[in-house]
Structure 1
Amino acid sequence: MSAPTAPPFAPDATTPVPEHLRLLIIGSGPAGYTAAIYAARAMLKPRLIQGMQPGGQLTITTEVENWPGDTEVQGPDLMVRMEAHARAMGAEVVTDTVTRLDLSRRPFLVECDSGARLTADAVILATGAQARWLGLPSEARFQGFGVSACATCDGFFYRGKEVLVIGGGNTAVEEALFLTNFASKVTLVHRRDSLRAERILQDRLFRHPKVEVLWNHEVVEITGDDNPLGVTGAVLRSTTDGSVRPIPADGVFIAIGHTPASELVKGQVALRDGGYVQVEPGSTRTSVPGVFAAGDLTDDTYRQAITSAGMGCMAALDAEHWLAAQGLAER
């Protein structure tokens, strides 16, 4: 891997002296808040910078029924509770966004949108990933009310109902197959005449009696009702002749991939295909000693709140052990 290539800092006479931290956590989803809880309990006095979307993807999720201990909880409420827990343990939670992170020197250097400049002995990256959306106004209108990007999260709500899955790669086929556990019918809509998914997944999809594949079509609008707010179907356009047709559905799952928020460390830590941060197997250690990664930023397989939280715990413990080995745990 090439040497870190973060943009150089350009301090001048008016630049404040950076404040030093033992541990900085960047990101505020389940991974970030859990890391903050564990790090605070380890007396590391962590600071968590929330980023542009405090709480992460769960803040645009409605009912969460797979969080242990809660039969049902609203996504935003769960994140409010996590933040409160982190603060109660002693973590400092700051509403700001990291704009530059220089991992080429020690301690690591950080610049924030607010103008704050920091140094940190260790960093936990928990900036998450964002689902790729179609970009339709109607899609945004019904997000959380029939439009989803996570079948594992929301499939349970579509028992005995008909759903659409949009996409043609592994993600789309896996989502469609998972949804057959609940839905009465799953229609996979793909804009081409062949899938990009692995052949073994395609074979399973084509054999499944609940699945229909609609080739050479794209979604141009999600349709639905206002009271109560909910999806009733979609309008599809043929990519071969331009004809338009409506199709009824109770839910629409967008499965065209995710984009990890790794731009901050691109060229500085090793990344995997798709831009996910690479960590050592069984740990959260990245290719740069003292830098750890947790949650959807590194996980392209599970992408669940509970697995992100587990990785946040791992990252805090990994950071604690690393700081202790460097003689930096107490200052």
Structure 2
Amino acid sequence: MDDMTNFYDLIIIGGGPAGLSAAIYGGRAKLKTLVINKGVVGGLVNTTREIVNYPGYEQISGPELMKNFKKHAESFGVEFLRDEVVDADLSLREKLVTTKKGKQFLAKAVIIACGSEPRLLNIPGEKRLQGNGVAYCATCDAEFFEGEHVVVVGSGDQAIEEGMYITKFASKVTVIVLHDEGILDCNKVSSERAFNNEKMEFIWNSTIEEVLGNENVEGVKIKNLKTGNIEEVNCQGVFFFVGMVPSTNFLKNSGLEVDSRGYISANELMETSFEGVYAIGDNRVKYLRQVVSAAGDGATAAVAAERYIEELNDFNESILKSEKRVLLLFLDALVNENLRFRTLIEEVNRELVDCYRIKEVNIATKKNLIGKYNVRNVPEIIVLDHGNEIKRLKYTMDKEQLKSQLS
């Protein structure tokens, strides 16, 4: 690709709170950063009417908070593109991203922040009333149904545990269950607690047919699977807990490691199975899915990506472009023996008329190079020619033996 306008230091796939936080940190680090988002910036947070648990805001709407996130990122020069990523070759040194509109972009690092989506039943009224009584997160929205009647759809661990949380606020929680009376899909402890909760009621052998209401939820239509009878139940809120689906289909041919549900595995630095590729927010395997934890993911990944890019740039300039062979010296700068070995290597190289270029790698800060060259013990010296490994020296403090290995 010759068009340099399509080359970025950092591409972020997804514009929810995780992606926007990463963008803020990327832009502030003066990385040329692009956020590609297929819908309105903000993701699922845009369906939340009020947020009262994000630090610094006693009360703010989801769309307003995300607008602030985006404005902050733009102040650091971050670019935004409304498009959908449909393919990504992440195994390359320069990552290739392709969008639905046929555009292609290269980046030194990629952060995947495409999030996840609630599994929809696609019944009438569900999409239309999202954010106006239809919800998918009890922690986010339960308190807005203080003293009201709420219907919960689902009977797994998430549905029952979230339903019990909703009872802290709602006057009554009615759970719609597909199975016969007394049978839930959740764990035994949760089911016993739910049955003993005075605010929880159950409608068995049933499914939801429609969410009713004009501007806000006013009720639901429920069908009994055994009799076929349909009844209307008045309520002010409907919470769907029939599963979440990570938005990672575009990765199916990329080779990136995902679990059986499609969630991406990442370590504490948000690093994935590919070097220079990071996963943050709701599309990764994680414990808590909240705006505040997504923002933390984004900050971590962007800082990790910045350091990776710094290493990559340094590697390209000092190693790949070096006319001399390079002595890649891995050491621990806090260990005196390692420092004495560095001094010895410098002396040997001077006696060899500086025929090598010495590149020092401190294991405390250069994690990517350590992994790249599979360094297990330090000090370690690898001889490179234009980035290609020629040999590894045997560690010794004997000057003549070192000189012999390098001659």
CA distance 1:195–1:120, shift in 2 (3 Å)? same
User: What is the CA–CA distance in structure 2 between the aligned matches of 1:330 and 1:145, rounded to whole Å?
Assistant: 53
CA distance 1:162–1:316, shift in 2 (3 Å)? same
Give the equivalent residue in structure 1 for 2:193.
Answer: 204
Percent pairwise identity? 36
Is 72-81 or 25-34 further displaced after alignment?
Answer: 72-81
Partner AA of 1:253 in structure 2? F
SS in 1 for 2:270: coil
- The Cα offsets for residues 66-121 of structure 1, whole Å up to 9 and x where unpaired, read as 22222222222222221111010121222222221012322111122333222111
Give the equivalent residue in structure 2 for 1:215.
Answer: 204
- The Cα offsets for residues 307-326 of structure 1, whole Å up to 9 and x where unpaired, read as 11111111101212222333
Query: Offset of 1:234 from its aligned partner?
Result: 1.2
Give the equivalent residue in structure 2 for 1:10.
Answer: none
User: What is the CA–CA distance in structure 1 between the aligned matches of 2:249 and 2:117, rounded to whole Å?
Assistant: 13
Is it true that 1:240 corresponds to 2:229 in the alignment?
no
TM-score of the pair, normalised by structure 1: 0.88
SS in 1 for 2:147: coil
Q: Is the 8 A contact 2:22 2:299 kept in 1?
A: yes
Q: Is the 8 A contact 1:108 1:121 kept in 2?
A: yes
Q: Please, which runs of 5 or more residues in structure 1 have no aligned partner?
A: 1-14
CA distance 1:116–1:16, shift in 2 (3 Å)? farther
The counterpart of 1:50, out of the listed 37, 40, 56, is: 37
Q: Which has the larger radius of gyration?
A: 2
Query: Offset of 1:329 from its aligned partner?
Result: 9.5
Is it true that 1:184 corresponds to 2:163 in the alignment?
no
Query: Offset of 1:55 from its aligned partner?
Result: 2.1
Give the equivalent residue in structure 2 for 1:101.
Answer: 88
- The Cα offsets for residues 131-175 of structure 1, whole Å up to 9 and x where unpaired, read as 122212212222111111111111011122221110121211121
TM-score of the pair, normalised by structure 2: 0.72
Q: Is the 8 A contact 2:272 2:279 kept in 1?
A: yes
Q: Please, which runs of 5 or more residues in structure 2 have no aligned partner?
A: 318-407
Alignment of 1:123-272 (within 5 A): 123-193=110-180, 194-224=183-213, 226=214, 229-267=215-253, 268-272=255-259
Relative contact order (C-alpha < 8 Å, sep 6+): which is higher?
A: 1
SS in 1 for 2:308: helix
Give the equivalent residue in structure 2 for 1:11.
Answer: none
User: What is the CA–CA distance in structure 1 between the aligned matches of 2:160 and 2:260, rounded to whole Å?
Assistant: 19
CA RMSD, Structure 1 to Structure 2 (Å): 2.1
Give the equivalent residue in structure 1 for 2:395.
Answer: none
Query: Offset of 1:31 from its aligned partner?
Result: 0.6
Query: Offset of 1:47 from its aligned partner?
Result: 1.4
Give the equivalent residue in structure 1 for 2:297.
Answer: 311
- The Cα offsets for residues 239-278 of structure 1, whole Å up to 9 and x where unpaired, read as 1111112222221101111111111223522112421111
CA distance 1:277–1:119, shift in 2 (3 Å)? same
Q: Is the 8 A contact 2:18 2:294 kept in 1?
A: yes
Query: Offset of 1:303 from its aligned partner?
Result: 1.9
CA distance 1:245–1:300, shift in 2 (3 Å)? farther
Give the equivalent residue in structure 1 for 2:19.
Answer: 32
User: What is the CA–CA distance in structure 1 between the aligned matches of 2:240 and 2:95, rounded to whole Å?
Assistant: 38
Query: Offset of 1:328 from its aligned partner?
Result: 5.5
Give the equivalent residue in structure 1 for 2:357.
Answer: none
Q: Is the 8 A contact 1:44 1:329 kept in 2?
A: no
Give the equivalent residue in structure 2 for 1:4.
Answer: none
Is 99-108 or 124-133 further displaced after alignment?
Answer: 99-108
SS in 2 for 1:122: strand
